[in-house]
């Protein structure tokens, strides 16, 4: 039976204590270097109380107010992806014994059970895509799977979308509907808490929850609707593959390439991008070697290098590939777009390139806009 209740703000620390007693380390948002970052926390005092983040294309600014709320911001550069798909990790090792024989060993750590507090609906949608890619194909990724199985997710509905957010148009927010263990709606006085799994139910049973009053439900519903209404950016719905590939020679690809630095920042902050490269790192004495996987980006020249040929030498080719794949051919691979409307690629682009603006410029007056 679902146990929905209200947790007073002064008792929010009880949630961390219950998680710790249940064997979880707690990872939550903190203000670091002017942005929201997720890191291990031991106290609610580390949460970003009163912090508000304002983003525009190429701009992120944090302000600290006297408001009591911990989650009055949309997101930071870091989603769930680094916690599951490590930016850099050793996949296996090989060593040579005294007789010259080689011995191979996988390098799969056993991660500690981890509870992530403050997950947004757009990042839950991105997680479903990452799960589909890493777990549901013919070959499951054991490194990703080990971390995924250790994760407990505490979502918080977003009530302060940024200027760069457009999750409402992609159908991925701002309300979280599935994929969480606990869901929180934050009010000034506390949190409406709803479980989304059996684990969530057990956690709720250990919390000092009060019945939710009718006026608190009204405030939650109003905040959710206001967050949807506040979003002004949008992407066209549906599969854009044909519409984009038909405009393969559109002059906008050249125009955006003149601004794009091909730095890969957009792909690093994107919660769904999964491009990576693998290489071997050998010791100088030749006795052992490690096979390493690390994040890569389709915006680097080397990403499309094949046997002496760079397939996408020009920046316009790389931007076109990224956008067409993300919004088009992902539908062929995963049944939906690869964009969840979080807006990170807009906010963290050093020159402020706006994916919504670029799509609108390429598609123009087509039926999909």
Q: What is the pLDDT of residue 167?
A: 97
d(CA 239, CA 242): 8
Q: What is the pLDDT of residue 264?
A: 95
d(CA 107, CA 200): 31
d(CA 328, CA 363): 13
Tokens 């777990």 correspond to: 135
Q: What is the pLDDT of residue 295?
A: 97
Tokens 């929180």 correspond to: 184
d(CA 75, CA 95): 43
What tokens appear for 2 in the block?
Answer: 């679902």
Q: What is the pLDDT of residue 76?
A: 95
d(CA 101, CA 292): 21
Q: C-alpha angle with apex 303: 346 to 144, nearest 5 degrees?
A: 75
What end-to-end distance do the CA atoms of the chain give, in Å?
44
The 10 Å Cβ neighbour count of residue 122 is: 29
Residue ranges in 11-120 assigned as alpha helix (H)? 13-21, 81-84
Q: What is the pLDDT of residue 99?
A: 82
Quick check: pTM over 0.75? yes
Which residues 6+ apart lie within 8 Å of 294 measured at CB? 87, 88, 89, 276, 277, 278
From residue 259, give the alpha-carbon distance in Å to each of 86, 354, 362, 368: 30, 11, 16, 26
**One digit per residue, pLDDT tens: the chain, 369 residues?**
567 999 999 999 999 999 999 999 999 999 999 999 999 999 999 999 999 999 999 999 999 999 999 999 999 999 999 999 999 999 999 998 878 889 999 888 889 999 999 999 999 999 999 999 999 988 899 999 999 999 999 999 999 999 999 999 999 999 999 999 999 999 999 999 999 999 999 999 999 999 999 999 999 999 999 999 999 999 998 889 999 999 999 999 999 999 999 999 999 999 999 999 999 999 888 889 999 999 999 999 888 888 888 889 999 999 999 999 999 999 999 999 999 999 999 999 999 999 999 999 999 855 554
Burial (Cβ within 10 Å: 0-12, 13-18, ≥19) of residue 185: buried
d(CA 188, CA 255): 46
Q: Tell me, what DSSP letter sits at residue 44?
A: G
Q: What is the pLDDT of residue 369?
A: 45
Q: What is the pLDDT of residue 1?
A: 54
């Amino acid at each position: 039976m679902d146990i929905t209740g209200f947790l007073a703000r002064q008792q929010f620390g009880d949630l961390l204590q219950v998680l710790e007693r249940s064997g979880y380390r707690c990872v939550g948002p903190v203000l670091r270097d002017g942005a929201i970052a997720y890191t291990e926390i031991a106290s609610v005092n580390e949460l970003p109380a009163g912090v508000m983040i304002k983003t525009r294309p190429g701009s992120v600014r944090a302000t600290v107010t006297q408001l009591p709320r911990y989650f009055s911001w949309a997101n930071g550069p870091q989603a769930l992806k680094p916690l599951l798909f490590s930016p850099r990790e050793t996949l296996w090792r090989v060593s040579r014994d005294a007789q010259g024989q080689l011995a191979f060993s996988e390098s799969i750590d056993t991660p500690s059970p981890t509870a992530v507090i403050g997950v947004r609906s757009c990042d839950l949608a991105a997680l479903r895509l990452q799960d589909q890619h890493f777990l549901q194909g013919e070959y499951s990724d054991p490194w990703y799977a080990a971390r995924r199985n250790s994760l407990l997710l505490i979502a918080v509905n977003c009530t302060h979308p940024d200027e760069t957010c457009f999750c409402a148009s992609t159908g991925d927010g701002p309300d979280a509907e599935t994929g969480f263990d606990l869901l929180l709606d934050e009010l000034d006085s506390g949190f409406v808490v709803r479980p989304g799994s059996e684990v969530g139910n057990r956690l709720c049973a250990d919390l000092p929850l009060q019945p939710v009053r009718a006026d608190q439900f009204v405030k939650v519903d109003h905040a959710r609707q206001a967050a949807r209404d506040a979003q002004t950016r949008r992407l066209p719905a549906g599969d854009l593959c044909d519409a984009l590939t038909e405009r393969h020679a559109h002059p906008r690809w050249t125009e955006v390439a003149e601004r794009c630095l091909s730095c890969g920042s957009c792909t690093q902050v994107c919660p769904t991008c999964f491009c990576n490269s693998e290489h071997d790192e050998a010791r100088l004495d030749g006795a052992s070697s490690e096979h390493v996987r690390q994040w890569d980006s389709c915006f680097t020249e080397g990403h499309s290098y094949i046997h002496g040929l760079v397939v996408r030498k020009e920046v316009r080719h790389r931007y076109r590939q990224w956008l067409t794949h993300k919004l088009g051919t992902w539908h062929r691979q995963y049944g939906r777009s690869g964009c969840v409307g979080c807006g990170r690629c807009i906010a963290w682009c050093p020159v402020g390139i706006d994916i919504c603006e670029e799509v609108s410029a390429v598609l123009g007056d087509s039926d999909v806009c």
